[in-house]
Chains A and B, each alone.
Chain A
Amino acid sequence: MAAGDAPGLPGPHAATPAGKPRARSLGIPFGGTPGRWNAITDVPGVQVGYRTLIQGDSVRTGVTAIHPRGAAGAADPVAAGFFSQNGNGEMTGVSWICESGNFSGPVALTNTHAVGIAHAAIVAWTVKHHPHLADAWLLPVAAETWDGYLNDINGHHVTEETALAALESAASGPVEEGSVGGGTGMNCYQFKGGNGTASRLVDYAGTAYTAGVFLQANFGSRRELTLAGRPLGALLAADNPMAAHFAMPAGAGSVIAIVATDAPLLPHQCTAMARRVTLGLARTGTAGSHFSGDLFLAFSTANPGRIAPGTLTFRPGAEGRYDQLTFLPWGFLDPFYTAVVEAVEEAVANALTANEEMVGRAGHRTPALPRDQVAALFQ
């Protein structure tokens, strides 16, 4: 189904910037109200960048960069929380987030073997673009999912330059989905997976806030797949080469979720938002494999300049300062939780929809979600 067959859908809701279909264009129903681009970038200030490596027969990987306050805002911490749904993966920087409830600087997502390289690249990016920050110690967030089925993951193809390119290419606006950036070689429900994003608008006290989600989706086994409440695993069971690849248990692989909002939240409330990712993923059928590193980070871009960073608090003259946070009363968070759940569900569907089949190393192949078949179900 071409994007043009989805009458009434705004352009960015029907197709990605490269013209790939998005889940709504297949007629799949989703609850809630998406933001302008139906992407994490609907949260003002958030920027996303990619560097995609598709070379020869066996390089299928890349890096995704997300700047919570844009590249220029790297010194200003955001309130944040972390949740591990299943710890079989890596997200650096979480000791600091669990300690302080905040972090600053960009986030990089890539493959499991390159997460250390991505960490080093954030350090190098900071030295280059915010040198005064690098005089103190940096605790960047770099996270990963495993693309070793399609990608030559031991080939050291992701270098610091790769990650630096992603960090420096970040921009606002609609976000590409599918096999790009860190998601290039990823698989979801044993279909081609990778990057997916979505957003929801939440009104509170006369302000339209936005909750946006970005996923690097690499999880799930085929028979579990469910979209908009319809179990699809049996219907779409055919053509599953990954299932025959018995070195990998079904459901292995991981999912990294980044949740952003401009609603003013306490760090504990960010953690609560991160826990809601699980409920969104559950709507798509997964039971949370032991072999999946499901690690979630949520942050609020509100309260700019309100959390004094360490570089400020131990300068002379900083004593006597108080910080202040404005935040939503706990009793009003439910619509934001719903927004996370809905956006995560849609982001998974988007990651699946925006794909074609991919062949990678050793001739390994992953088919794409059969769009026409799915669209026919939802007519």
Chain B
Amino acid sequence: MNEAQSGLPGPHAATPAGKPRARALGIPFGGTPGRWNAITDVPGVQVGYRTLIEGDSVRTGATAIHPRGPAGAADAVAAGFFSQNGNGEMTGVSWIEESGTLSLPIVITNTHAVGIAHAAIVAWTAEHHPELGDDWPLPVAAETWDGYLNDPAGRGVTEQVAIAALESAASGPVEEGSVGGGTGMVCYEFKGGSGTASRLVDYAGTSYNVGVFLQANFGSRAELTLAGVPLGELLADDNAKAGDAAVPPGAGSVIAIVATDAPLLPHQCTAMARRVTLGLARTGTTGSHYSGDLFLAFSTANPGGFSPYDPGTGSDAGLRYDHLTFVPWGAMNPFFAAVVQAVEEAVANALVANEGMTGRGGRRVPALPRERVAELFRARHRA
């Protein structure tokens, strides 16, 4: 393992808690990662977790993502949404599709707690941004289903849990695997959950960041592919979940949040969201009907670019024009490539940063066997 790790910056080799990341196994990835190889490489983006692992059957939590940090929650970002397969929930998308923007933090949790998460963002906003006054919040709360390992009817995620995630958000390297909303998630029938990655894209003399965060809970074992190497058959053993008739293989969902500081139009954000599909496809999935694959992309550029309604005190007060600077469409391809590469790596990271987990009813999900995968890529490197 040290052989493959040599030369890797600390944050690229391991998570803050010391769990290995995919590059540490020698898996080759294209492109140039950012400083932390995380969504937080996009300046201003903050991530927070609240993880609930209790007793035999609580394996869940909440993840919070602040596009402009907690202080910037009232300043809308350009945004776009794409549903690769709609068997899931992401609130707030009617507004995103209407206006091409979103504001307020995002929370990702389990399927039955997504309403609670929504209420928590509303409460957090009322407390931390009273200046928003009577403006009605339309926050983004999203979910994947952890009912295999976690008690599906459990009341584990309360508003307080989601608020704790919102209030713990920070910049810097991001933990991966079974943390926050990803705690009980399953990916390619290995232990899954939270994964992140980033890429640098140069344009017109500026180095922009494209960062991706996934709550990965999708895919069937037979499909798994990493760096073009089909692994499903090689790693087919130790798959108790495959025998569980209550849950179809591939079920579960993936939520992708794409962030960039490149200046983009809302339509371009939507185009970035559509590229998540191509990144997931590199890891083998064919997109199960039972998977809620919902993707959101936003740009932190153009701060203050979308003026909020300002009633002013008279008929002419508050009247203004807004302006957006944006990368020409013809120059978008490197940003699309960045999304695809970062998504592929984020999936690998979610798998690698894990140990096996046992949950409700004694159900067990093994982790990706790191040593076998590392050996496979060492052998390919030598060949």
Contacts and interface: CB of A to CB of B under 8 A. Distances in A.
B246 interface: yes
Interface string A155-189: 01000000000000000000000000000000000
Contact of A100 (B87, B116, B147, B152): B87
A359 B99 CA distance: 33
Nearest to B117: A116
* Chain A residues touching B, range: 35 or more
Given A117-B115, A293-B94, A99 B123 contact: no
Contact of A247 (B93, B123, B134): B134
B319 to A, nearest CB: 13
Given A84-B97, A88-B95, A135-B152, A99 B245 contact: no
Contact of B311 (A84, A114, A115, A247): A247
B133 interface: yes
A118 B111 contact: no
A138 B112 contact: yes
Given A84-B98, A87-B95, A90-B94, A115 B245 contact: no
A137 B111 contact: yes
Nearest to B86: A99
A166 to B, nearest CB: 15
Given A148-B134, A154-B126, A139 B118 contact: no
* Chain B residues touching A, range: 35 or more
A330 interface: no
B186 to A, nearest CB: 13
A134 B87 contact: no
Interface in A85-105: 86-100
A115 B118 contact: yes
Given A88-B99, A116-B117, A314-B247, 17 more contacts: A84-B97, A84-B98, A87-B95, A88-B94, A92-B89, A92-B91, A96-B86, A98-B83, A115-B91, A116-B122, A120-B119, A121-B115, A122-B115, A137-B112, A247-B134, A293-B94, A310-B87
A122 to B, nearest CB: 8
Interface string B183-208: 00000000000000000000000000
A95 B98 contact: no
A235 interface: no
Contacts of A246: 311-313
A238 interface: no
Interface of A: 84, 86-100, 112-123, 127, 131, 134-140, 142, 146, 148-149, 154, 156, 246-249, 291, 293, 295, 310, 314-316
Contacts of B137: 112-113
A121 to B, nearest CB: 8
Nearest to B142: A95
Main secondary structure of the interface of A (DSSP, over half): mixed
B290 A93 contact: no
Contacts of A91: 94
A134 B115 contact: no
A87 B94 contact: yes
Contacts of A120: 112-113, 115-116, 119
B136 interface: yes
A95 B88 contact: yes
Nearest to B154: A127
A55 B83 CA distance: 42
Given A116-B116, A148-B136, A86 B98 contact: yes
Most buried by A among B99, B115, B141, B145: B115
B153 A92 contact: no
B303 interface: no
B95 A116 contact: no
Given A90-B138, A247-B133, A139 B113 contact: no
B309 interface: yes
A215 B292 CA distance: 29
21 contacts: A84-B94, A88-B98, A89-B95, A92-B114, A99-B85, A100-B87, A112-B136, A113-B136, A113-B137, A115-B91, A115-B118, A117-B115, A134-B153, A135-B147, A136-B147, A137-B111, A137-B145, A139-B87, A139-B292, A146-B136, A248-B134
Contacts of A310: 87, 290
